[in-house]
């Protein structure tokens, strides 16, 4: 019997064209950077929690999907990232303790807030070093974060229609690299693997099927390392994997735009918009 | 704007697709309907500076079945409201929640709504419910109950799984039906069960609670495996260890779990299948034990106690030391199942094998000679139908004579005549 491929959900054309955040007049580049930062937080939390990469990657893909059905004005990226990581840890059978996850997010958010604060107080030439203050045992921080966590998890499930099936790209990458005879070059394998992981901070896994994303990682790798593969019409290597050039190129664009140098001001601006409250204030400030 | 033009061009291109050597088989329906490429075109146009001209894809090879066209992927969609359904009657209530029969207000379809109990959840959405929903979505099969969607109520604590409504469960049917299933019927049911179990296992899902009350049957002779509340993924890279021993309803529980094995796999489902096979033959559960120890001794009695030969790992199991083995004796299957053919006994023995490594797999069992010897499996359409308790239908009493005339009424009738 043949195992049928899993038909995981992908954003539709209209969902891509006009995201809920865009409808709330959040600029595209801010949305993209916030999505990326939300995924970066998941990644950092995953490292601090010693969580498996499968759970981290799944959480990042769920976050990207979520913001095709919901607006950043309604749900902060930090909250949704925390909920997504909690959910994906259950899905991948490696559950994390709620308190551990909350502590880690509290640290990460405090650090971001510190960066924003020290950037705005421009009078200080040498900003104070960040020092983490653990949440007080009887304070409300824990319960507030816990509430946000539970609500986010439920909202992700509800707004994604409980279809949280995710297919990760790593197995496919190994197969494709073998097929193209690239596995003998270690630096090619690890570079392509790295591109796949970086792509987790972009929306491509919510927009394109796995073969397309994997082929994009291979294309970037071969171009970077100057490896030539059959690429002229009639004999294009990506056609082996049923990938369209336009799609492939678009995914490469998403990944490369992630590496664009951001100014400190741009970075700080994004770090100040992690909660829906901050984002709403910022939106109002822009209008007036 | 370009979508119309590009879909035309792709319709042209579909006529002279060339077959790629990577194709194993291509769904004809899949090739016939060209995927509307408007979506990718539009995405590509955002990077117009780098994208090549739009006319570069005139000939497209037919796609491999492993890369379904993007139109086959469902869009991201939120849960609908439970008010899309009209409640008809409640079917049963279990520890996990209540099951209702309901009607889809749009299509008129009759469905089963399973309400999850979420009120006392301390750790967010319960992992067991997640596993159940995921397993059902992953294991779509003719003999697995179909999940339609998951709908929500007004608050975040109201979640309902919408499934196909199936008239009977096999347990109730076995107790109510006047005579046991025929051999030909048992073969059909077993083939369906084995193909469902094999499908789940090939998708890396263990059911962990196979029993007759979790096998639903419709009036067209088809059984559907249901209640994936204990199901979970298994095998690499999902956690192999750390699986609980608190699985499978006692009567259907495999000996390795009873003896505290830390890891177990697909073989535990196959033991349950063996118990179900025996139950279909006997018209009552095979091992009706009240507790673990009683169950172990019943198993020892029917199979003969395990030996180094029949189950080499037995002595290394955590609870093996606590049990004193009875004196060796041969198995009692022939006495218990006097009318079963030799092939039938062999299948039962292969399913109820001590050593999980040597227990037959679902895939192998489907090829067992029992299913090819006479009598052949009965076609599902030839099964008789039964009144459905879940739909609130009553069984007509077999010999119900009309009631005796009521005295008062008869008297009145007479007076009326006067």
SS in 3 state form for chain B? Answer: CHHHHHHHHHHHHHHCCCCCCCCCCCCHHHHHCCCCCHHHHHHHHCCCCCCCCHHHCCCCCCCCCCCCCHHHCCECCCCCEHHHEEEEEEEEECCCEEEEEEEECCCCCEEEEEEECCCCCCCCCCHHHHHHHHHHHHCCCCCECCEEEEEECCCCCCEEEEEECCCEEHHHHHHHCCCCCCHHHHHHHHHHHHHHHHHHHHCCEECCCCCHHHEEECCCCCEEECCCCCCEECCCCCCCCCCCCCCCCHHHCCHHHHCCCCCCCCHHHHHHHHHHHHHHHHCCCCCCCCCHHHHHHHHHHHHCCCCCCCCCCHHHCCCHHHCCCCCCCCCCHHHHCCCCCHHHHHHHHHHCCCCCCCCCCHHHHHCCHHHCCCCCCCCHHHCCCCCCCCCCCCCCCCCCCCCCCCHHHHHHHHHHHC
Please name the member of B68, B152, B156 whose beta carbon is closest to the beta carbon of A7: B68
Query: Which residue in the set A9, A159, A242 is minimally distant from B63, CB to CB?
Result: A242
Query: Does residue B318 lie within any of the structural domains?
Result: yes
- B114 and chain A in contact, CB less than 8 A: no
Which 8-state DSSP code applies to residue A124?
Answer: -
For B50, phi then psi, to 5°, come to: -110, -20
Q: Inter-chain contact A250–B232, Cβ cutoff 8 Å?
A: no
Pick left, alpha or beta for residue B263 (phi over 0 → left; psi -120 to 50 → alpha; otherwise beta). Answer: beta
| A20 assigned to some structural domain | no
- How do strand B168-169 and strand B205-206 relate by DSSP bridges? unpaired
Answer whether residue A228 is part of any domain: yes
A92/B44 Cβ within 8 A: no
Q: Could you tell me if residue A120 is inside a domain?
A: yes
Residues from chain B that touch A15, judged by Cβ atoms under 8 A, are: 75-76
Query: How much is the pLDDT for A118?
Result: 84
Q: Look up the CATH number of the domain holding residue A110.
A: 1.10.472.10
Task: Specify whether A138 is located in the same domain as A186.
Answer: no
Residues A160 and A219 in one domain: no
A68 contacts on B by Cβ (under 8 Å): 76
Taking contacts as CB-CB distances below 8 angstroms, the residues of chain B near A5 are 65-68
State how many domains chain B has: 2
- Tokens representing residue B137 in the block: 């979505």
Domain that holds residue A133: 25-165+262-287
Interface-testing mutation among B31, B51, B55, B75, with chain A (most A C-beta atoms within 10 A): B75
Q: Which residues, other chains included, contact A11 with Cβ-Cβ below 8 Å and sequence gap of 6+? A: A65, A68, A203, A206, A207, B75, B76
A-contacting residues in B 286-315 (Cβ below 8 Å): none
A46-70 mean pLDDT: 96
Residues A93, B46: C-beta atoms closer than 8 Å: no
Report the chain B residue with the minimal C-alpha distance to residue A147.
B124
Contact B199 A1 (CB under 8 A): yes
Return the CATH number at B198.
1.10.510.10
In this structure, the answer to whether residues B264 and B365 fall within a common structural domain is yes
Q: Would you say residue B9 lies in a domain?
A: no
Q: Which domain holds residue B331?
A: 168-382
Q: Same domain for B358 and B305? A: yes
Tokens 């099936």, located at residue: A165
Give yes or no: residues B270 and B130 share one domain: no
The answer to whether the bond into B237 is cis (omega within 30° of 0) is: yes
Task: Look at B238 and A93 and tell me if their CB atoms are within 8 Å.
Answer: yes
What is the band of A4 on the pLDDT scale with cuts at 50, 70, 90? low
The alpha-carbon gap from B386 to the nearest alpha carbon of chain A, in Å, equals 33
Could you confirm whether B169 is annotated as catalytic? no
Any domain includes B65: no
What is the length of chain A?
A: 288
**Any domain includes B34:** no
A209/B38 touch (CB, cutoff 8 Å), yes or no: no
Same domain, A161 and A241: no
Angle between helices B342-351 and B267-282 (to 10 degrees): 140
- Chain A residue numbers with beta carbons less than 8 Å from the beta carbon of B22 are 240, 242
Query: B277 and B296 in one domain?
Result: yes
A189 and A236 in a common domain: yes
Residues B117 and B200 in one domain: no
Minimal CA separation from B228 to chain A, in Å: 15
Q: Is B103 exposed, middle or buried (0-12, 13-18, 19+ CB in 10 A)?
A: middle
- Give the end of a domain, one of B164, B185, B207: B164
Residues A241 and A269 in one domain: no
Residue B3, token pair as written in the block: 């979508």
Contact map slice: B 25-64 vs A, CB within 8 A: 37-44, 46-47, 50-52, 54, 56-57, 61, 63-64
- Considering only CB atoms, which chain A residues are within 8 Å of B78? 69, 158-161
Do A200 and A214 lie in one domain? The reply is yes
The per-residue pLDDT for B172 is 86
- The contacts of residue B162 (CB under 8 Å, 6+ apart) are B85, B111, B112, B113, B114, B147, B148, B149, B150, B151
Q: Is residue A209 assigned to a domain?
A: yes
B78 to A160: CB separation less than 8 angstroms, yes or no = yes
Q: With cut-offs at 50, 70 and 90, classify the pLDDT of residue A233.
A: confident
pLDDT in tens, B357-409: 999 999 999 999 999 998 888 888 888 777 777 777 765 555 556 666 555 44
Instruction: Kindly state whether residues B178 and B159 are assigned to the same domain.
Output: no
Q: How far apart are CA A164 and CA A58, in angstroms?
A: 9
Instruction: Please tell me whether residues B103 and B138 are part of one structural domain.
Output: yes
CA distance B285 to chain A (A): 32
Same domain, A72 and A176: no
Residue A137 in any domain: the answer is yes
Residues B307 and B325 occupy one common structural domain: yes
Q: How deeply is B216 buried, as exposed, middle or buried, from its count of CB atoms within 10 A (0-12, 13-18, 19+)?
A: buried
A143 and A66 share a domain? yes
SS3 A30: helix
Q: Which residue of A has its CA nearest to B48?
A: A250
For A249, the closest chain B residue by CA position comes to B51
Residue B72 lies in a domain: no
pLDDT at B52: 40
Pair (B235, B155) in one structural domain: no
- Asked, for residue A14, whether it belongs to a domain, the answer is no
Statement to judge: residues A205 and A75 lie in one domain: no
The C-alpha of B225 sits at a distance from chain A's nearest C-alpha, in angstroms, of 19
- B76 reaches A (C-beta below 8 A): yes
How many domains are there within chain A? 2
- On whether both A113 and A206 belong to a single domain, the answer is no
Residue A174 has what pLDDT?
94
A242 to B67: CB separation less than 8 angstroms, yes or no: yes
Does B49 reside within a domain? Answer: no
Instruction: Write the residue in B56, B73, B238 that is nearest to A209 by C-beta.
Output: B73
> Across chain B, which distance is largest between two alpha carbons, in Å?
104
CATH label of the domain that carries residue B119: 3.30.200.20
Interface test with B, best of A19, A22, A250 (most B CBs within 10 A): A250
Shared domain for B141 and B244, answered yes or no, is: no
All residues of chain B having their beta carbon less than 8 Å from the beta carbon of residue A11 are: 75-76
Q: Could you tell me if A105 and A205 lie in one domain? A: no
Confidence of residue A157 (pLDDT cuts 50, 70, 90): very high
- CA proximity to B188, closest of B377, B363, B383, B369: B377
Of B137, B164, B191, the residue that ends a domain is B164
pLDDT less than 70: residues of chain B: 1-62, 94-96, 236-242, 394-418
- pLDDT for residue B71: 81
User: Is B365 within a domain?
Assistant: yes
Average pLDDT over residues A30-52: 96
Q: C-alpha A48: how far from its chain's center?
A: 17
Contact status, residue B81 vs residue B153, Cβ threshold 8 Å: yes
Q: What residues of chain B lie within 8 A of the CB of A233, using their CB? A: 56
B127 contacts in chain A (CB < 8 Å): 90, 95
Q: Do A209 and B24 touch (CB under 8 A)?
A: no
Q: Give the pLDDT confidence score for residue B66 in this predicted structure.
A: 81
The angle subtended at Cα B289 by Cα B287 and Cα B295, nearest 5°, is 75
Coil, helix or strand at residue A140: coil
- For residues B127 and B181, state if they share a domain: no
Q: Could you tell me the end-to-end alpha-carbon distance of chain A, in angstroms, rounded to an integer?
A: 63
Taking each helix axis from N to C end, the angle separating A98-120 and A28-48, rounded to the nearest 10 degrees, works out to 130
Terminal CA-CA length for chain B? 89
Q: Does residue B346 share a domain with residue B214? A: yes
Tens of pLDDT along A72-129? 999 999 999 999 999 999 998 888 999 999 999 999 999 999 988 888 776 556 667 8
Structure tokens at B87: 């409640």
Residues A80, A102 within the same domain? yes
* H or E stretch at A232: strand A231-232
Residue B29, token pair as written in the block = 């329906």
A86 to chain B: closest CA residue: B124
B343 in a structural domain: yes
């Amino acid at each position: 019997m043949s195992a049928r491929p899993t038909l995981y959900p992908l954003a539709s054309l209209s969902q891509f064209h006009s995201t809920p955040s865009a409808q709330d007049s959040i600029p595209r580049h801010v949305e993209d950077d916030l999505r990326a930062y939300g995924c970066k937080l998941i990644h950092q939390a995953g490292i601090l929690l010693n969580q498996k990469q499968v759970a981290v990657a799944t959480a990042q893909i769920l976050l990207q999907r979520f913001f095709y059905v919901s607006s950043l004005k309604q749900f902060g990226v930090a909250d949704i990232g925390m909920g997504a990581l909690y959910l994906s840890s259950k899905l991948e059978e490696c559950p994390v303790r709620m308190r551990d996850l909350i502590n880690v997010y509290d640290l990460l958010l405090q650090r971001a807030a510190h960066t924003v604060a020290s950037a705005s107080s421009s009078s200080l030439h040498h900003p104070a070093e960040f020092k983490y203050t653990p949440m007080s045992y009887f304070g409300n921080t824990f319960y507030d974060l816990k509430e946000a966590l539970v609500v986010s998890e439920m909202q992700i499930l509800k707004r994604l229609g409980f279809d949280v099936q995710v297919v990760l790209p790593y197995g496919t990458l190994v197969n494709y690299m073998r097929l193209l005879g690239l596995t003998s070059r270690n630096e090619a394998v690890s570079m392509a693997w790295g591109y796949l992981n970086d792509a987790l901070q972009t929306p491509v896994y919510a927009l394109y099927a796995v073969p397309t994303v994997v082929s994009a990682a291979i294309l970037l790798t071969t171009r970077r390392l100057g490896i030539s593969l059959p690429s002229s019409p009639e004999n294009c290597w990506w056609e082996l994997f049923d990938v369209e050039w336009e799609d492939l190129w678009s995914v490469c664009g998403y990944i490369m735009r992630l590496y664009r140098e951001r100014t400190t001001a741009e970075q700080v601006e994004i770090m100040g918009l992690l909660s829906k409250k901050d984002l709403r204030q910022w939106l109002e400030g822009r209008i007036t | 704007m370009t979508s119309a033009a590009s879909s035309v061009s792709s319709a042209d291109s579909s006529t002279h697709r060339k077959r790629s050597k990577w194709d194993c088989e291509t769904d004809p329906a899949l090739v016939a309907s060209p995927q509307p490429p408007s979506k990718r075109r539009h995405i590509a146009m955002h990077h117009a500076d780098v994208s090549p001209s739009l006319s570069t894809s005139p000939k497209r090879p037919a796609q491999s079945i492993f890369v379904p066209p993007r139109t086959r992927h469902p869009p991201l969609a939120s849960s609908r409201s439970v008010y899309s359904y009209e409640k008809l009657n409640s079917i049963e209530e279990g520890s996990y929640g209540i099951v209702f029969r309901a009607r889809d207000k749009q299509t008129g379809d009759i469905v089963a709504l399973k309400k999850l109990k979420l009120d006392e959840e301390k750790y967010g959405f319960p992992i067991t419910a997640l596993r159940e929903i995921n397993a059902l979505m992953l294991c779509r099969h003719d003999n697995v109950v179909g999940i339609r969607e998951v709908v929500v109520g007004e608050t975040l604590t109201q979640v309902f799984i919408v499934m196909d409504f199936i008239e009977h469960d096999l347990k109730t049917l076995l107790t109510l039906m006047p005579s046991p299933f025929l051999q030909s019927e048992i073969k059909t049911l077993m083939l369906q069960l084995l193909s469902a179990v094999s499908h789940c296992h090939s998708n890396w899902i263990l059911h962990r609670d196979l029993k007759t009350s979790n096998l639903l049957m419709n009036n067209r002779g088809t059984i559907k495996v249901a209640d994936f509340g204990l199901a979970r993924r298994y095998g690499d890279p999902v956690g192999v260890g750390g699986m609980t021993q608190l699985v499978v309803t006692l009567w259907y529980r495999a000996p390795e779990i009873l003896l505290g094995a830390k890891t177990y796999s697909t073989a535990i489902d196959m033991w349950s299948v063996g118990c179900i096979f025996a139950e279909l033959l006997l018209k009552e559960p095979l091992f009706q034990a009240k507790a673990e120890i009683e169950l172990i001794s019943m198993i020892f009695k029917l199979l003969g106690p395990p030996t180094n030969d029949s189950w080499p790992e037995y002595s290394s199991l955590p609870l093996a030391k606590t049990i004193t083995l009875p004196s060796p004796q041969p198995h009692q299957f022939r006495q218990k199942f006097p009318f079963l053919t030799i092939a039938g006994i062999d299948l039962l023995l292969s399913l109820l094998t001590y050593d999980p490594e040597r227990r037959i797999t679902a895939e192998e069992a489907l090829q067992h000679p029992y299913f090819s010897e006479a009598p052949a499996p009965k076609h599902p359409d030839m099964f008789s139908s039964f009144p459905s308790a879940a739909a609130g239908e009553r069984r007509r009493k077999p010999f119900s004579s009309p009631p005796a005339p009521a005295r008062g009424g008869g008297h009145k009738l007479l007076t009326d005549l006067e």
